[in-house]
Structure 1
Amino acid sequence: MATTDTEQTNLKPGDCDLGDVVWDTGKDVPGVVMGHLGGDRVQLRAVSGGREWDAHSLRRLTARERLSLHLAQRNDATRKGL
């Protein structure tokens, strides 16, 4: 599956809403937007939980990345018997 240019465009931290899942291009990992700090950065937390970190450089997830995260969460829930 090919990604499109629109999926790879950078996001401004102010364009993200709380709860959005975005890709931190600085750390090269996905994260959930937990808060906004000023207008130039957001706080992210790993999808599986953990400590928050500040991110400046973001992009939207590709369709493949969204599917992969969703399947990982479903598999984890299945292993836990949920």
Structure 2
Amino acid sequence: MTVSTDAQEADGGPMKGAYVMDTLRGEVGEVVGQSGHDLRLRLPAGGREWDCPADAVRKVTAREHLAARTALANARSRGDVCR
């Protein structure tokens, strides 16, 4: 289960498990960690992780959050989740 879309750490950054929009790639990613000033992101259904500068992410909209959760549910139903 993921945390809410507005989950923030004490310093204002997104918490592990939160969905954010990578504005450079135009994709929703799940925060899986941090590497220096970059966030480590992964598609909600899993796959290869990537780094994104923390200042290049924004909160996801309700619609984007729903689409990401739907993609994850669909991938799970097909057995395609890569974690």
The two structures share one fold, judged by TM-score above 0.5 = yes
Q: Mind listing any 5+ residue stretches in structure 1 that lack a counterpart?
A: 1-13
TM normalised by structure 1 equals 0.68
Report the count of equivalent residues.
Answer: 66
Question: Residues 75 and 26 (structure 1 numbering): CA distance in 2 closer, same or farther, change over 3 Å?
Answer: same
Question: Residues 77 and 45 (structure 1 numbering): CA distance in 2 closer, same or farther, change over 3 Å?
Answer: closer
CA radius of gyration, larger in: 1
Within 5 A, what are the aligned runs for 1:1-82?
Answer: 15-38=13-36, 40-56=37-53, 57-79=56-78
1:53-76 CA distance string (max 9 Å, x none): 100110110011112222333344
- Pick 1 or 2: higher relative contact order, CA cutoff 8 A, min separation 6: 1
Question: Residues 78 and 37 (structure 1 numbering): CA distance in 2 closer, same or farther, change over 3 Å?
Answer: closer
* Identity rate, percent: 39
Q: Which runs of 4+ in 1 moved over 6 A?
A: none
TM normalised by structure 2 equals 0.67
Q: Mind listing any 5+ residue stretches in structure 2 that lack a counterpart?
A: 1-11
Cα RMSD (Å) of the superposition? 1.7
